[in-house]
Structure 1
Amino acid sequence: MSYEPAERRDGRAPGVETIATAYLAAAGGDAALALRRAIADALADLGEAERRTRQQDRLISQGYVRAGRGGRFTL
């Protein structure tokens, strides 16, 4: 399994340590609560990503159906 560095060097997003510190601070120092909140947020994000993927798959499938066998798309 590959892990992100503690602090990202590309500057695009906060690193693991920054995120962990923020969750811990928001939970008032309660590590168990911070972990549960981080997991809940991760699961919510995963669910949203899966929903968007299913939506994209449906749109792509509808495009193939509309285009028909000849491959020409008309409205």
Structure 2
Amino acid sequence: MSSGELYDLRGLKCPLPVLKTRKKMAGLASGACLTLETTDPLAGIDIPHFCHQDGYELVMSERTESGHRFVIRKP
């Protein structure tokens, strides 16, 4: 499975990572994946909540040295 496009959201603070991810996901084709890189400590809570709320599949979530990495799939 491809992790899709990399979307660098490092350095952005809440709520910008979720707002930018929502806009980016809206433009993707069904089945497409997006990999996010974040440094906002709240992203570990906010991004999974966003996926659940908006109906996206959180394929992967992991801590990185500087924050979090997520892979999200559009249904």
Instruction: Give TM-score scaled by structure 2 length.
Output: 0.28
Q: Which structure carries more relative contact order (alpha carbon 8 Å, separation 6+)?
A: 2
The answer to which structure has the higher strand fraction is 2
User: What TM-score, normalized by structure 1, do the two folds share?
Assistant: 0.28
Q: Whose helix fraction is larger, Structure 1's or Structure 2's?
A: 1
